[in-house]
A and B are shown apart, each in its own frame.
Chain A
């Protein structure tokens, strides 16, 4: 086996550190574009500070944001994957997160949900969160790691809508999303991206909303023309509310809206809305059967 536990641990540790020190290239590019067209002076100053912060983090080898957010590891594989290579993956990530915490890259932020006791090293039940996905024919094993900020989580919403509430031209759906953005204001660290999950059941809608905003490139174009149109319309309308960077006014609060959709039952229309702060800490590794490794979401 090429990827021994020891070698894999090293790769995973480096991936974690890389995510703590960098924002994804797409987020960085969209922030710069936002600054270029901003007219509000407060928003300009906030955006410039964000871009400076992102630059400085790498230079001084310190985490870009004090909060590491909530980590999810998305693993995907095909029928020919050597599952031996991922059998220890949960322990490898948990150990690497603890080590990166001791090394000062992650603040110890994970606590017992009821007692609120903090073990001090980001260890705990279900840390990090894992999602495994079987993709027929995929020759490689992919790891995508996302640290999703939790101030942004405070603005999230979900609703089991009905056919009547959906409305003509989906006005009910659009209003729900735009009103959620207005209620969120500056809480989710704008400029943010919004993931919207439509369909399934409660958990499915929320999960695909999170996946959309955590995994997808914020600059991509939805292959479904109807969803692409909806994404563009929602993004434009949310920005017209002038919430602005940091939520203190300005031209842009929303960098992108990303919609994922699955079928649902005829009685319901579940909608999940998941915000992602501007600090898009997302990284990935691809492992080929011949031992080759590729870094996903390359910085440059």
Chain B
């Protein structure tokens, strides 16, 4: 297990070097997206239009922030990860965008594991519920798109510094902490009674 500091835009080589259990801190730009945000991205791409953000070497954070409206825009209050499994249907789509890191909580399934291998992506587990600590690592809100989807579902572009601690839960070699726990757990339950 190693501790790694990365900056965006992320390089495929750096991502492919990461293994499950490694701890990562990210500096640079991360973008939030969840259920409605992913649907919207698919819709925009499906219509042959361009997304407002270039995701090449980028980070998708499964999250919706608490923000305060100020005269000159929004100020971030807190932010933390949402349950990632809901975004499982979009894993290949996201890989195609050039994303290198997905941050969330709870892990994802086999479709995502395949996409991580194919495109060279890692899934990072953020500390769940720790919105104040993670919010402190956000320097500013750089931009926001699709506000009509509601505050949690909008596409927030955030400038972050040493964002973490993030644990590699699924790597680009096809490994998954979540899968390992489930396989071992099933065997344990068989022996329990």
Contact = CB atoms under 8 A, between A and B. Distances in A.
Interface stretch (A183-191, A213-221, A223-231, A284-292): A183-191
Interface stretch (A107-115, A134-142, A193-201): A107-115
Interface of chain A: mostly helix, strand, loop or mixed = loop
Given A120-B150, A185-B178, A53 B77 contact: no
Interface stretch (B7-15, B46-54, B58-66): B58-66
Given A107-B152, A151-B83, A62 B78 contact: yes
B41 interface: no
B189 A111 contact: no
B169 interface: yes
A64 B150 CA distance: 21
B1 to A, nearest CB: 8
Contacts of B67: 104
Interface string A233-272: 0000100111110111100000000000000000000000
A60 interface: yes
B5 interface: no
Interface residues of A, number: 57
Given A185-B106, A241-B181, A246-B127, A45 B80 contact: no
Chain B's interface size range is 35 or more
Given A62-B77, A66-B78, A186 B152 contact: no
B151 A107 contact: yes
B125 interface: yes
Given A108-B152, A186-B107, A247-B107, A154 B86 contact: yes
Contact of A66 (B64, B167, B189): B64
20 contacts: A42-B167, A45-B167, A52-B130, A53-B127, A53-B132, A62-B131, A67-B80, A104-B66, A108-B151, A108-B152, A116-B153, A175-B193, A182-B185, A182-B186, A183-B182, A186-B169, A246-B125, A247-B107, A247-B125, A249-B177
